[in-house]
């Protein structure tokens, strides 16, 4: 009886464990590896409202003057774009420098990955992962309006 | 006329006979019930005190078992209830929407929500910078400029 109770408790808790919808993505490694380094800025916000859109999860990584980061992120994106819709891609000198991916929904969450590598000045690499219950088309419109 | 049905208590002779059979292990349940009823009556001769003590012991054991079973059930119910409470509290803690934010800058953590929001908005602007490249390229292939360039060749 005691054993059954423990098993039920563990199973129920396991079901309710909050597994991030990004944990299945390769880009999560980029945040882990480079987020705490010098020269990097990593931001994580939950349940934040930007414009009129509620971002369940907003995670960004900005790294300056580190081409390795951009290469690593590109490899991650090559894996994560499987099954995703490529909304935008800019290629410079044969290398994608800007990619917007609309990922398959996870439950009721729309997911987006935005990547940009500035080709001049400080060569800043920016990676953003967004989860939102708002339609990702609307979220993209909001983002594209920002200049 | 009211007829009262009373269970007859056996005589002491019958009781002695059943006691002998009891010690030989030959009594039926019915015999033992009759014997118990006989031994439970008040004012019984002291020569039956040993048998009274014996049957009293077995009665106590039986009621003790029932008590143990009852407390065991209570423990199980209490454990299940405690487990349910733990699961509910965990769910609330995990799923309650929390507005939280932090940022790591050059390896240092900040939880100033205003700074964190600013950095988030800044990154949205940065990731959007390629839009200007697209606009520039669209301008480059603008038909009007190409036509003008080609006409200028003939103007020389």
pTM: 0.58
Instruction: Give one DSSP letter per residue of B88-111, joined into a string.
Output: HHHHHHHHS---EEEEEETTEEE-
Measure in Å the smallest separation between the Cα of A71 and chain B Cα atoms: 16
| B65-93: average pLDDT | 72
ipTM computed for the complex: 0.80
Tens digits of residue pLDDT in B109-132: 999 999 999 999 999 888 876 555
Which residues from chain A sit within 8 angstroms of residue B128, using beta carbons? 116, 143-144, 146-147
Q: What whole-number percentage of chain B has pLDDT above 70?
A: 67
Split at pLDDT 50, 70, 90, the class of A40 is: very high
Measure in Å the smallest separation between the Cα of B147 and chain A Cα atoms: 26
Positive or negative: CA dihedral A129, A131, A132, A136: positive
- Helix, strand, coil shares, percent, chain A, to 5: 30, 40, 30
Taking all residues of chain B, what is their mean pLDDT, rounded to a whole number?
77
Q: With CA atoms as reference, report the closest residue to B91 among A129, A102, A18.
A: A18
Split at pLDDT 50, 70, 90, the class of B83 is: confident
Tens digits of residue pLDDT in A58-76: 999 999 888 899 999 999 9
Tens digits of residue pLDDT in B38-64: 998 888 888 888 888 888 766 665 555
């Amino acid at each position: 009886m005691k054993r059954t109770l423990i098993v039920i408790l563990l199973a129920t808790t396991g079901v309710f464990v909050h597994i991030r919808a990004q944990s299945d993505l390769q880009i999560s490694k980029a945040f882990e590896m480079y987020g705490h380094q010098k020269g990097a800025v990593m931001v994580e916000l939950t349940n934040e409202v930007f414009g009129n859109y509620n971002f369940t999860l907003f995670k960004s990584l900005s790294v300056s003057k580190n081409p390795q980061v951009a290469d690593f992120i590109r490899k991650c994106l090559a894996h994560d774009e499987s099954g995703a819709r490529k909304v935008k891609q800019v290629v410079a000198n044969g290398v994608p420098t800007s990619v917007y991916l609309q990922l398959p929904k996870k439950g009721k969450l729309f997911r987006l990955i935005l990547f940009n590598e500035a080709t001049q000045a400080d060569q800043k690499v920016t990676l953003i992962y967004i989860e939102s219950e708002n339609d990702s088309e609307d979220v993209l419109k909001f983002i594209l309006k920002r200049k | 006329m009211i007829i009262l049905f009373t269970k007859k208590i056996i005589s002491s002779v019958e009781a002695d006979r059943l006691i002998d059979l009891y010690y030989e292990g030959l009594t039926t349940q019915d015999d033992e019930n009759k014997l118990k009823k006989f031994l439970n009556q008040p004012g019984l001769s002291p020569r039956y005190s040993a048998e009274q003590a014996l049957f009293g012991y077995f009665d106590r054991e039986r009621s003790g078992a029932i008590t143990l079973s009852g407390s065991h059930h209570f423990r199980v119910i209490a454990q299940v209830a405690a487990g349910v409470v733990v699961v509910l509290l965990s769910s609330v803690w995990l799923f309650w929407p929390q507005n939280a934010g932090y940022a790591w800058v050059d390896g240092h953590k900040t939880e100033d929500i205003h700074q964190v929001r600013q950095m988030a908005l800044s990154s949205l602007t940065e990731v959007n910078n390629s839009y200007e490249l697209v606009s520039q390229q669209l301008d480059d292939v603008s038909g009007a400029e190409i036509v003008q360039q080609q006409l200028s060749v003939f103007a020389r």
